[in-house]
Amino acid sequence: MEKINLKKILKKVEKPARYLGNEINSIHKDTSREDIIRYAHCFPDLYEVGMSHLGSHILYDVINSEEDVFCERVYAPRVDMEEKMRENNIPLFGLESRESIRDFDIVAFTLQYELCYTNILNMLDLAGIPLLMKDRKEGDPFVLVGGSCAYNSEPMSDFIDAALLGEGEEMNLEVVREYKEWKKSGEPREKFLERIAKIEGVYVPSFYDVEYNEDQTIKSVKPNRECAAEKPRKRIISDMNEVRYPERFVVPYIDTVHDRIVLEIFRGCTRGCRFCQAGMIYRPIREKNFARLKEILEKLVKTTGYDEISLVSLSTSDYSELAELTDYLVDEYASKNIGISLPSLRLDNFSMEIANKIQKVRKSGLTFAPEAGSQRLRDVINKGITEDDLRRASRQAFEMGWNSLKLYFMIGLPTETYDDLDGIADLAYEVVDIYRDVHNGKLKGKFGVTVSTSTFVPKPFTPFQWNPQDKKENVVEKQKHLVKKMRNGNIKYNYHDSDTSLMEAVFARGDRRLGKVLLDAHKMGAKFDGWDEYFDLEIWKKAMEINNLDISFYAHRTRDFDEVFPWDHIDVGVSKKFLIREAENAVKEVVTPDCRKRCNGCGINVHDIGRGLC
C-alpha cells in the first residue's frame, strides 16, 4: 500500500499533531509482509477524545500483541482536515502507517455515544469503503463495532458486518484468528461472518430477521440461519488479574481530554442505579488485586512520564482495597510530584481521610452527584444516598480546605415534579450555608458551588427503558425554572442542550428502520452531532420525515412491559424480569440494596453459571 504524503496539507490545518501517528509508545510494524493482518481501530470523534478512551488503549495493546497483526489508530478528522483531504483526494488512513484503511482487513469502530453514528458513516465515506453492508464485495474490509452502544446496534445494522458485545480483550483476538483461517480457506465473504457468529459475544445483524406489528412496534427478532444464536450473549473477562493491560500508553504530543495514567481498578457496579446503563451491562463486579495494580502502575510510570494517576471504575470508592492503594500511591509517588485523582466518588462512602491524602501533591476539584433534588426522587432512581451524606461530605471538604464544589443532577427523571427541581436549588443553597458556617459566617476567597444538570435519556437494559423522555418544551421550562431559582453570586448553573439529548434517546432505543434516517442525515451533512457547534436538529427532523418516522415514537412514548424491544434478543446477563421488578419498585419508591449486601436476583449469576463471578 502506498504511504500517504501529508506535508502539503498539515501546515494548513489546526493541530497537525492529531494526524502524525509517531507518538511515544506508538507501535509500528512492517506493512510489506504478505502475512500481516491489517486492523483499523477507529474512534468516531476527534483525536483528543479518542486518545482519552481507556478501552481504545487496551485494545490497541491487546491486538498488537499478535505478531502478525498490525492494529492502527484512526480518528475522525476535524472539519478543516476533512476538507483538505477531500480536496487532495486523500483517503482516511491509519495513523501509524499513513496507509489507506480502504485496503485493511478489518475496520472496527468504538460505539460509545449514539451521536457519533454519522461520524462513522462519514469516516467510511472518506475511506472509500461502501457504507452499506450489502454493497461490500470480496476484498472490502469487514466493518465491526463494539462498546456500550453495540448492545443496541440495530440503528447501525445496515452498515456493519458484526457487533462485538461485551469485553473485547479475548473476543477481538478470537475474531482475528478466525479471520486468518478464513483467509487461508478461500471461502466467500459471508462464510467469515458465519465463522465468527459462533464466537461468544459476536452478533451478526444480517443473520436475524425483524418483523413489525401494524402499530410499528416490533413483533419478533429471529435468527435466519443455524450459526446464529437465539440470544447472542455478551462476553465477560473472568479474571481481571490475568487479563492483559497496557504496560505503556501512547503519549500524545498535544493536550487531550485526559492527559494522565489511567489505572482501571475494577469492572462492574453493584449499586443498581435505575437510570444507569453501565451499572447494568457491565455486571458482575470484578476487582484487580492490589499487587496487580502496583505491578501495572510501576511500568506505566516508567514508560509514559505522566505526572498524574487516575483510578478508574464505575464507583471508585467501592474498591475493597482503596485505603491500602491510596496509601501506597501517596507514599510512593507524592515525593515524585505525581498527583492522584479519584473520579466516581460516592457521597455515602466518601472518605475525607483518603481525599486529603491524595491532595498532598495538588488539590483537585470535588464533584458529587446527588442526581436528584429530593430524597423521594433519589429513592425512585435507587441512588442510595441521603441529604445527610451530602451535608457530611460538604462540611468535611470545607473543613479540609476546599473552597469549591460541583454538584451533578439529572432533570426529566421518571415521576419528577417541580418540588424535586426546587430541591436541587435548596441543596445548592445549603452547601453555601455549610461553607459559611465552617468559616464563621464568611464566604472566603473564590468560593463557589457549580450545579450541572443533564437531561435524562432512557437507555436499553435499564429499569427506565420503558419510560418516556421529557419533551423539549418541558425540559426548557425546567431549565428556566432552575436558572431563576439559583440566581446567586456563589452558585453557577450549567445545563446541557436538550436537542442533542432528544436524538440520543431516539438512537438509544432505536430499531433498524433508523438506518435509512442515518444515511439521509449523513447525505445532508450531519457529522459531529455530539458537538453543539455542529449539531442541527432540523436535519434530523427532515431525515425522520423523509422516512415516515416519528421522533416521539422513539423518545416520548411510554412502553408496555410486554412490548418487544429492538434489543430483547441480546443477552447482557441482567434479565428482563429483574428490570421489570426494578421499574415497579421505582414507582413504589422502594430502594433495592447494594448487591454486595445481598443478591437481588438480577440474573447475572445465571448468565455466568460455572464461572463463579457473582
Per-residue pLDDT tens digits for 142-195: 999 999 999 999 999 999 999 999 999 999 999 999 999 999 999 999 999 999
Mean pLDDT of 316-326: 90
pTM confidence score = 0.95
pLDDT for 441: 84
CATH number for the segment(s) 7-223? 3.40.50.280
pLDDT score of 600 more than 80: yes
pLDDT for 579: 98
The larger pLDDT score, comparing residue 447 to residue 502, is at 502
Residue with cell 449539531: 535
pLDDT for 280: 97
CA–CA dist 317, 332 (Å, integer): 20
Mean pLDDT of 581-588: 98
pLDDT for 400: 84
CA–CA dist 26, 597 (Å, integer): 44
pLDDT for 150: 97
3-state secondary structure of 608: coil
Cα angle at 64 between 63 and 67, to 5 degrees?
Answer: 115
Mean pLDDT of 228-244: 96
User: Strand pairing partners for 455?
Assistant: 411
pLDDT for 557: 96
- HSE at residue 294, side-chain half, CA atoms within 13 A, is 14
Contact (Cβ atoms closer than 8 angstroms) between residue 175 and residue 536: no
pLDDT for 353: 74
CATH homologous superfamily for the domain 261-496+573-588: tm_1862 like domain (3.80.30.20)
Domain range list for the chain: 7-223, 261-496+573-588
Continuous segment of H or E residues that includes residue 514: helix 514-523
Which pLDDT band, with edges at 50, 70 and 90, does 92 fall under?
very high
pLDDT for 593: 94
The b-or-e profile of 484-505 (16+ CB within 10 A means b, else e) is ebbeeebbebebbebbbbbbbb
pLDDT for 252: 96
The larger pLDDT score, comparing residue 192 to residue 368, is at 192
Which pLDDT band, with edges at 50, 70 and 90, does 370 fall under?
very high
The dihedral formed by the CA atoms of 570, 571, 575 and 577, expressed in degrees to the nearest 10: 40
- What are φ and ψ of residue 274, in 5° steps? -75, -15
